[in-house]
Amino acid sequence: MEPLKRFLKYSAAGITAFVFDLLLLLYLIEILSFHYIGSAVFAFLLATSFNYYINSKWGYRKSTHKNLKSYVLFIFINSISLLIIVILMLLIVEILNLHYFLARIISGSLAGIFSFIMNSKVSFKMPILK
The segments of the chain whose pLDDT lies below 70 read: 1, 129-130
129 lies in some domain:
no
CA distance 22 to 71: 22
Q: What amino acid occupies position 111? A: A
CA distance 127 to 121: 6
38 lies in some domain:
yes
Q: pTM here?
A: 0.72
What is the tens place of the pLDDT at every residue in 29-66? 999 999 998 998 899 889 989 999 998 888 787 777 77
11 lies in some domain:
yes
130 lies in some domain:
no
CA distance 9 to 15: 10
- So what's the pLDDT on residue 128? 74
40 lies in some domain:
yes
80 lies in some domain:
yes
